[in-house]
C-alpha cells in the first residue's frame, strides 16, 4: 500500500504526536485512546447508535434500512470528532490507518470479519475527490482489507451527485438528497454480487448514505450489507 512508505514504521502517536516506545505504526497512545468515547453496549441493533433503552432507535423503528447492521467503536464527539475532521478537511490521510486499526479491533471482537466477502468504501463525488486528493473511506477500507486479507473494491459504486455538505441537512433532507446519489458502474452490472459486503465510511449520522449505497447492491442480489464506521453520532 502506498502509505507504507509515506508513513513508515514509527512509535509516534498519530493523534497527539508524542513518542511512545514500542507503539508501532499508525496507532494511538493509551492517553489518546482513553479520550475516545466508546458507543457502549446499549445501542440500536440496526444502526448501532447509542440509545437509552430498547432494541431499536426511533429512526430504525419507523423506516426500513437497506443494510442489515451498522456499527462503530466510538461516539462522534471529543477526540473522535477531531480526528475525523482532521482526516477529511486538514489533509491528514495518515490518520486513516490508525482509525481503521480501532475499527478492526472492534469488529474482530465479534469475529464478524470472517463472513465478509469484500469491502467497499463509500465513494466521494469526483469533484470532492479532486479537492481533497483522497477518499478517507477508501484509505480505511484498504487498511482493513490488508489486515483481513479481504478484497477491496473501489470502482463498483459511483457517486453521481455532489450533494450539499450533509452536516447542514436534517435527517429527512439527507434521505431525499441521497436517494439517487449512487449507482453501480455499468461495467459491472452483469456480474454476480458477493453475498456479504462490508461498507466502510468515517462516520454514521442518520445512516442515509449507507442506506443509499446498500440499496444499489441489494438490487443486484447481494444478500447482506454490513456497515462499519469509526464513529457514530448519538
Residue with cell 465513494: 123
- The number of beta carbons lying within 10 Å of the beta carbon of residue 51 is 18
- Is the predicted pLDDT of residue 206 greater than 70, yes or no? yes
pLDDT of res. 69: 95
Tell me if 25 is assigned to some domain: no
Residue 18 falls inside a structural domain? no
pLDDT at position 100 is 95
Give the model's pLDDT for residue 23.
Answer: 82
Q: Residue 65 is placed in which grid cell?
A: 434500512
Give the residue, 130 or 176, on which the prediction is more confident.
130
Whether pLDDT at 187 is above 90:
no
Q: What is the pLDDT of residue 6?
A: 44
Number of domains in the chain: 1
Strands, E assignment, 23-181: 69-71, 74-75, 118-121, 157-159
Give me the mean pLDDT over the 188-203 stretch.
84
Reply yes or no on whether the pLDDT at 108 is more than 50. yes
Give phi and psi for 27, each to the nearest 5: -125, 165
Whether residue 26 is contained in a domain is answered as: no
Q: Domain for residue 10, yes or no?
A: no
Domain with residue 188: its CATH number is 3.40.50
147: phi > 0 → left, psi -120 to 50 → alpha, else beta; which? Answer: alpha
Which three three-digit cell numbers place residue 46? 440496526
- Give the pLDDT band of residue 3 (cuts 50, 70, 90): very low
Instruction: Establish if 130 belongs to a structural domain.
Output: yes
Predicted confidence (pLDDT) at residue 26 exceeds the cutoff of 90: no
Phi-psi category of 126—alpha, beta or left, where left has phi over 0 and alpha has psi -120 to 50?
Answer: alpha
Does a structural domain hold residue 1?
no
User: Looking at per-residue confidence, does 188 or 70 come out higher?
Assistant: 70
Share of the chain above pLDDT 90, in %: 55
Predicted model pTM: 0.88
The domain of 189 spans 35-232
Segment among 48-57, 88-97, 102-111, 162-171 with least mean pLDDT: 162-171
Q: What are phi and psi of 129, to 5 degrees?
A: -65, -40
pLDDT beyond 90 at 181: no
Residue 86: inside a domain: yes
pLDDT in tens, 54-93: 899 988 888 878 999 999 999 999 999 999 999 999 999 9
In a domain, 159, yes or no: yes
Amino acid at each position: 500500500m502506498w502509505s507504507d512508505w509515506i508513513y513508515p514504521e514509527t512509535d509516534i502517536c498519530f493523534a497527539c504526536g508524542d513518542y511512545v516506545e514500542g507503539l508501532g505504526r499508525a496507532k494511538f497512545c493509551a492517553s489518546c485512546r482513553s479520550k475516545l468515547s466508546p458507543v457502549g453496549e446499549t445501542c440500536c441493533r440496526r444502526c448501532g447508535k447509542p440509545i437509552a433503552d430498547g432494541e431499536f432507535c426511533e429512526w430504525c423503528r419507523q423506516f426500513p434500512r437497506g443494510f442489515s447492521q451498522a456499527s462503530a467503536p466510538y461516539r462522534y464527539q471529543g477526540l473522535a470528532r477531531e480526528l475525523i475532521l482532521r482526516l477529511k478537511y486538514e489533509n491528514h490521510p495518515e490518520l486513516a490507518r490508525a482509525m481503521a486499526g480501532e475499527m478492526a479491533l472492534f469488529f474482530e471482537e465479534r469475529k464478524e470479519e470472517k463472513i465478509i466477502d469484500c469491502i467497499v468504501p463509500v465513494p466521494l463525488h469526483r469533484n470532492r475527490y479532486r479537492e481533497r486528493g483522497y477518499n478517507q473511506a477508501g484509505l480505511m477500507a484498504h487498511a482493513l482489507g490488508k489486515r483481513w486479507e479481504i478484497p477491496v473494491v473501489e470502482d463498483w459504486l459511483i457517486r453521481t451527485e455532489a450533494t450539499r455538505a450533509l452536516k447542514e441537512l436534517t435527517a429527512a433532507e439527507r434521505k431525499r438528497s441521497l436517494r439517487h446519489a449512487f449507482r453501480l458502474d455499468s461495467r459491472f452490472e452483469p456480474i454476480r454480487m458477493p453475498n456479504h459486503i462490508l461498507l466502510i465510511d468515517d462516520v454514521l449520522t442518520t445512516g442515509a448514505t449507507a442506506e443509499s449505497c446498500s440499496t444499489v447492491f441489494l438490487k443486484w442480489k447481494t444478500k447482506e450489507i454490513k456497515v462499519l464506521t469509526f464513529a457514530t453520532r448519538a
